[in-house]
Structure 1
């Protein structure tokens, strides 16, 4: 390096400022966030446009690409916008231009596109070099009078040009076309509306500044999407307009048609806003192939340029209501989350419907005022010139002679000013006048123009001096826009009659649900099993494959929502009607699509959610004798993959569950025939992840078989059933209360004949019992067939099991659940007697 050139490493910094890195990062991030919020992602409340939309329209305005001009290449428009106003990349600009031209994305497109601008199927637009565009007529209303100093301008990114901070906006575009965007830590999602309705509401607000949201909703019925469809219910609309936030249910427009050979088909003609039609059809087809939706024989898209038409053909005998509601549940209904967030004075703000319109009216008031001032100044300047011309015409001969006698044009101007008192502007104009302007006809035209200009000055002065007249101008201009561009609503608003769900279409009946260790499951109507006397073999209830065996049988109503507790301490939620109904000899269906059970995980207890209140407890007992209570409210939200109900130590299993209210006694029974009864208050309430406390002291290899909750006034009996099919009833009053974690009392004699205890239940004399064996035999019998005896007894035969078979599960059918069946049978008998 030459000695004359200084070494850059020797150059000292002029100033060094020490800054904490966390402070610098915090401030830099805030600056970045505000730049995104105010400069890119959120629209301004006045014109409803983000900077990129505004810059595209202004660039087209400056290029002269109006609605009356020929189309220009999109690449040309994108290039001008990027080069002069928006240096953020051509793809972002072109994507915005494309969306402004799509009639399925914008309620009133701001760009008139020519060429391929994409489709509802998610097809992308052609490259910008192939498409052409120009402004649509309604977008010119946003730019109307922008040359008349109606809005503020700022320097563009390189200080070469000026760009508008906001457009004059002759209509409330924020509501009319809506907006969506994601900023840093916030987002906006404003639905489009009908132009005529929004203008009517704006005029209503101008006439009545105290109008409420309810008053404005007399005009604005709700969002009006470009794709039509239906909004379900008005409450969500009101909430969105009142608070600026809401969730709207948007439902496709469709109808069920009678088709050939007695079959039906569902024809969809309008889709919810922002739906991808091709993807929608694809997802429906996937659900049909996977068995999620049954009854569909064919599916095709017959849409064309005239509109949407998706045809769903049903199989012969298919229930169209079931198919329709399944489609609504998963495909034909979407939720539109309204977040009416916009920039107000540079700050993001969530606005109600009234606040949005108030901000727009304030903007238009300023625009009309500034325009009127501009026009007034122009009119006064013109009147001043016309006054000079009229004076010159009155003194035509002297003026001509004075100009002719002047040596130069400057002398002529000075002489005119001195002789007649003309101003500089008037003198300049008179010197440039042609002699033909001095004719009597020209003089009359000047007089007429002067009178018109004076009238305009009076009109503009009146507007500026009267707030009422200014507001009348705003209203008149809004009415003109409505008359020019207003149209009918596309989106209908339907009352929420309560969605008819799949559940509503399922008959309500009592059923038995059978599950096996290999996770096969099915349901069968209770009516398929007539009551038998105790000691019978029962009948086939499931065709269990070799190596599998029944693990659980329980009674439920088809409309029940059940909490299913498993031996591994997890709980799942199950809708009974989701279990397939099958005959007695059927094996069942794999439960993998119903409950996401792990290998070796079996259901050991069922709780009906209708019987569980938030102030009650789920009380659980494990095989090793631990007991715990957990508040019912902790089981409100259960994922499809289940949640932890109880923490288990290694080798332990959850055995049984009861619902208690804090006043019960708990009775724990063991496989070895022991029972213990104690106050549930001895078990403190704890969370789902707790293990619990000791409930009974087990001896040897004994294990807990079940749990029963009772109270002092309970006249029920404790039913005990053993593995070999024996059982007995003993009044619960015979089980005296002890302290928790004792050995308990003898309940039933086990041994070779009885085998270990399988289940214990609290029963009334009128109840019925369903017993199922591991090999799939099922028997329904009356509880009063089983003798009521003391605690320390052998019991009687309840169900005869053969060979290596054994009782797998026991459940009780309460008398109240049978009353409707009894009444129905009585009605049938009465009808038969009448016949």
Structure 2
């Protein structure tokens, strides 16, 4: 075999181009480049998603690898390797440190990573090595990457041009202020404290709706930082400066309590300042004790566990613990200072942000995200609509289409023939030839028509969002409120005055404004401006779903509470200012946004409370005639995940009416067969909210009680009754006899046996008004307006006949008007003749044993939790 001739190596000539420059010029230029990189790509977060690049890359990598909330955790070594090899080639330690920090709930207000294993501690311990630990994205992190696959953000090539990574995440919640951040760059640093998610979202929502809102307006919602470990922030100018200028200094104090025991006193510390290492704080206190700087301190112990922080300081029995505590606050980290410096990257440049500028930047980001998402969906829906229209046309000509395809040579020829014969586009023809024949059946034709209709609606909605700024803003508000409802929680850090440590009443930060509220039987509630109500016309009904009826509506104040009573013996207390503001014609939001109602639970009464007075009482009546009396100040205002019980019910019974009592009111109980009993409220003992009731009327039998009214001792007036067959009756209360609770009732409405009427409701009327305007709800789900101008009382002996011109063969299901009862300082009260219960105990488990061991008729009012009273009557067993 002949030897091959080796190719000649051609050497290229290179010309060196060495530029000689002074060292100071080179260093200045290179250092400026380095500083720019550190500021933009390492240490300072982006204002839009609140993340540094390494955090963003971690979250995006975990999302891309499906390492999300609903999936099992994976080894952190896997995540660190994926991030470092694909997006962040800067060393594994910095990546793992950032990953672990996003899971540490003592540093991050809303953790973005679910961690399994040792992720460090508040004592300063480092996390375990990443080969031992596992992690995944938290549920909240899904909101950071939500809709990222819909081209909502710009993408860029990674360091080796092999993959695309996002320049920013969609961030459907305001992460920068919610979780805060810290970072040191070149010649600048950032220190942003964490905040309460609901407060920030409320401020954003307010800003969207008020283009001229000021920082002071927004500070009504954002009270201050809300640190993961709680604590107390002292009210100061520094706190206000954080939101006015982006820089401010505040003091954070531990939460403490003084406990007296038999032989000593104890100072209990349950919350410590943000960024304070617990073990270091204990060491500082222990050092003071051993140095015997002050007298009275005996020992300090760290009794913290998985439930929370608990540091116990033993003091002498005769020591002044208040003085000792003030000393420790001055000498240890029980009180620390925190300097905020809200710097973030805005449009590629670092900028110091005040509250308004941050919110505006975040809103602008969300506008872009929603716009791009809507465009993506719009293009997708239009493309699908084009295909669906082709499929519908093909299904209408199925025989011809099949014949064309059958006679064609191949798929490509089939497409060409279909396009030539019917004018299909290439996409439509492709969809037709690839679709199985059974998809062109009549059933699927109907399905396609429905899909077409839905696509047209969706396209119209998206086009509206893209063309109407208000609609786009409503989408942002809707999404933010949904996130606040799902992930928001109560404030952990309280804002208090330093001189006198008293928690701030949040209602004082709410603008005191008169508003209209409406509450419906199905549990929908809304708040509207008075202007919106007046612009809707006189006596106009609020927006109602089909089959729903109004329970309460009227003028209240934003600082009031709305108490919603349900037929299952529960109530929900809602601050009026927390009710979503809607137009008067809108349906509103469901009470499940505040507390979860049970299936079938209906609202039967709404009260507006300005002041929970201790001289006002509530009467509660059930369908089976049970009645109770409870103090108004027993109502709980704290938010609960479930409604709070206000009456224990017997089986197959439900609450039908709740009325305000003055302490000496006369109670009028009405039954479905037109019987009435008038007695004084002092015939009822005052019981707690957990108690049952006693019989309200004698001889109820198989009938139901439908309502009760309350009258002042000397009050006289008229009330109106409505029946299911369209009869109304005006009754003068002067004709009723005051009796004992179980005295013989009076007949208010006799009926013919051939035409039996059932009373469905009754309420007092104002005879001074020119006209009584009310609304009837019929059993065919229609509303019937009823105006009454003749206020002459009906003879009680007159038999009930239909006197309302409702449509034939319809019955009246309910009657309602625009009215709400408000309890304030003007509400009349009288000294009561009965004593209050021994203890007004709180029911921490309202639904525990709700269906077990209910009171019987001869033991009504007995409290299974030993409230200290038993309410019985010798008449309770009489029929």
TM-score, structure 2 as length reference: 0.55
Aligned to 1:189: 191
8 Å CA contact 2:61, 2:82 repeated in 1:
yes
Matched, 1:321 2:322: yes
- Of 389, 393, 396, the residue aligned with 1:391 is 393
Partners in 1 of 2:500 and 2:286 — Cα distance? 27
Matched, 1:298 2:311: no
Aligned to 2:288: 287
8 Å CA contact 2:250, 2:339 repeated in 1:
yes
Classify 1:37/1:6 alpha carbon distance in 2 versus 1 (closer, same or farther; 3 Å): farther
8 Å CA contact 1:181, 1:189 repeated in 2:
yes
Aligned to 2:537: none
Partners in 2 of 1:293 and 1:483 — Cα distance? 49
Aligned to 2:576: none
Partners in 1 of 2:487 and 2:185 — Cα distance? 32
For residue 402 of structure 2, give the secondary structure of its aligned residue in structure 1: helix
8 Å CA contact 1:257, 1:267 repeated in 2:
yes
- Of 51, 56, 59, the residue aligned with 1:57 is 59
- Of 442, 449, 459, the residue aligned with 2:451 is 449
- Of 417, 420, 436, the residue aligned with 2:419 is 417
8 Å CA contact 2:255, 2:270 repeated in 1:
yes
For residue 220 of structure 1, give the secondary structure of its aligned residue in structure 2: coil
8 Å CA contact 2:255, 2:271 repeated in 1:
yes
Partners in 2 of 1:416 and 1:7 — Cα distance? 62
Structure 1 residue 12 displacement after superposition: 5.7
Classify 1:206/1:83 alpha carbon distance in 2 versus 1 (closer, same or farther; 3 Å): same
Partners in 2 of 1:391 and 1:23 — Cα distance? 73
Partners in 1 of 2:459 and 2:14 — Cα distance? 66
Structure with the greater alpha carbon radius of gyration: 1
Classify 1:382/1:10 alpha carbon distance in 2 versus 1 (closer, same or farther; 3 Å): closer
Aligned to 2:366: 364
Aligned to 1:534: none
Aligned to 1:246: 248
Structure 1 residue 499 displacement after superposition: 9.4
Partners in 1 of 2:80 and 2:66 — Cα distance? 14
- Of 490, 495, 498, the residue aligned with 1:496 is 498
Matched, 1:310 2:315: no
Partners in 1 of 2:184 and 2:7 — Cα distance? 52
**Cα-to-partner distance string for 1:172-220 (whole Å, 9 max, x where unaligned):** 1000000100001111000000111110000000000211111111111
**Cα-to-partner distance string for 1:363-394 (whole Å, 9 max, x where unaligned):** 00000000000000000000000010001011
For residue 135 of structure 2, give the secondary structure of its aligned residue in structure 1: strand
Aligned to 1:379: 381
For residue 474 of structure 1, give the secondary structure of its aligned residue in structure 2: helix
- Of 34, 37, 60, the residue aligned with 2:36 is 34
Matched, 1:125 2:127: yes
- Of 180, 202, 205, the residue aligned with 1:203 is 205
Matched, 1:135 2:137: yes
1:160-559 map, 5 Å: 160-261=162-263, 263-331=264-332, 332-497=334-499
For residue 102 of structure 2, give the secondary structure of its aligned residue in structure 1: helix
Kindly indicate which of the two structures has a greater share of residues assigned to helix: 1
Classify 1:11/1:383 alpha carbon distance in 2 versus 1 (closer, same or farther; 3 Å): closer
Partners in 1 of 2:297 and 2:39 — Cα distance? 47
1:56-75 map, 5 Å: 56-75=58-77
**Cα-to-partner distance string for 1:61-107 (whole Å, 9 max, x where unaligned):** 01100100001011111111111111111111111111111111110
Partners in 1 of 2:50 and 2:158 — Cα distance? 20
Partners in 2 of 1:6 and 1:482 — Cα distance? 73
Aligned to 1:107: 109
Structure 1 residue 235 displacement after superposition: 2.4
Partners in 1 of 2:63 and 2:113 — Cα distance? 12
Structure 1 residue 15 displacement after superposition: 2.4
**Cα-to-partner distance string for 1:425-452 (whole Å, 9 max, x where unaligned):** 1011111111101210010001111111
Aligned to 1:648: none
8 Å CA contact 1:234, 1:493 repeated in 2:
no
Structure 1 residue 480 displacement after superposition: 0.8
Number of residue pairs matched by the alignment: 496
Classify 1:498/1:485 alpha carbon distance in 2 versus 1 (closer, same or farther; 3 Å): closer
Structure 1 residue 10 displacement after superposition: 12
Q: Which moved more, 1:10-19 or 1:268-277?
A: 10-19
Structure 1 residue 8 displacement after superposition: 15
**Cα-to-partner distance string for 1:332-369 (whole Å, 9 max, x where unaligned):** 00101000100001110000001000000000000000
* Long gaps (5+) in structure 2: 1-5, 503-879
Partners in 2 of 1:53 and 1:265 — Cα distance? 43
For residue 144 of structure 2, give the secondary structure of its aligned residue in structure 1: helix
Classify 1:6/1:443 alpha carbon distance in 2 versus 1 (closer, same or farther; 3 Å): closer
Structure 1 residue 7 displacement after superposition: 14
Partners in 2 of 1:408 and 1:25 — Cα distance? 70
Structure 1 residue 9 displacement after superposition: 14
**Cα-to-partner distance string for 1:13-62 (whole Å, 9 max, x where unaligned):** 34232322211110100000011000100000000000011000000001
Partners in 2 of 1:20 and 1:152 — Cα distance? 40
Partners in 1 of 2:317 and 2:457 — Cα distance? 78
**Cα-to-partner distance string for 1:586-612 (whole Å, 9 max, x where unaligned):** xxxxxxxxxxxxxxxxxxxxxxxxxxx
Classify 1:33/1:6 alpha carbon distance in 2 versus 1 (closer, same or farther; 3 Å): farther
1:526-675 map, 5 Å: none
Partners in 2 of 1:154 and 1:290 — Cα distance? 60
Structure 1 residue 285 displacement after superposition: 1.1
Partners in 2 of 1:378 and 1:76 — Cα distance? 35
Aligned to 2:23: 21
Partners in 2 of 1:212 and 1:12 — Cα distance? 65
Matched, 1:76 2:78: yes
Partners in 2 of 1:209 and 1:287 — Cα distance? 54
Structure 1 residue 257 displacement after superposition: 1.3
1:675-686 map, 5 Å: none
Partners in 1 of 2:11 and 2:72 — Cα distance? 60
Aligned to 2:582: none
Structure 1 residue 410 displacement after superposition: 1.0
Q: Which moved more, 1:229-238 or 1:269-278?
A: 229-238
For residue 198 of structure 2, give the secondary structure of its aligned residue in structure 1: helix
For residue 260 of structure 1, give the secondary structure of its aligned residue in structure 2: coil
The RMSD of aligned alpha carbons is: 2.1
1:740-779 map, 5 Å: none
Classify 1:413/1:255 alpha carbon distance in 2 versus 1 (closer, same or farther; 3 Å): same
Structure 1 residue 498 displacement after superposition: 7.0
Aligned to 1:802: none
Classify 1:235/1:410 alpha carbon distance in 2 versus 1 (closer, same or farther; 3 Å): same
Partners in 2 of 1:245 and 1:461 — Cα distance? 42
Partners in 2 of 1:412 and 1:42 — Cα distance? 59
**Cα-to-partner distance string for 1:701-720 (whole Å, 9 max, x where unaligned):** xxxxxxxxxxxxxxxxxxxx
Partners in 2 of 1:90 and 1:8 — Cα distance? 44
Q: Which moved more, 1:246-255 or 1:277-286?
A: 277-286
Partners in 2 of 1:29 and 1:5 — Cα distance? 47
* Long gaps (5+) in structure 1: 501-835
**Cα-to-partner distance string for 1:639-678 (whole Å, 9 max, x where unaligned):** xxxxxxxxxxxxxxxxxxxxxxxxxxxxxxxxxxxxxxxx
Partners in 2 of 1:330 and 1:5 — Cα distance? 83
Classify 1:5/1:40 alpha carbon distance in 2 versus 1 (closer, same or farther; 3 Å): farther
Classify 1:28/1:381 alpha carbon distance in 2 versus 1 (closer, same or farther; 3 Å): same
Structure 1 residue 124 displacement after superposition: 1.5
Partners in 2 of 1:438 and 1:202 — Cα distance? 49
Segments of 4+ moved more than 3 angstroms: 4-14, 291-294
**Cα-to-partner distance string for 1:783-806 (whole Å, 9 max, x where unaligned):** xxxxxxxxxxxxxxxxxxxxxxxx
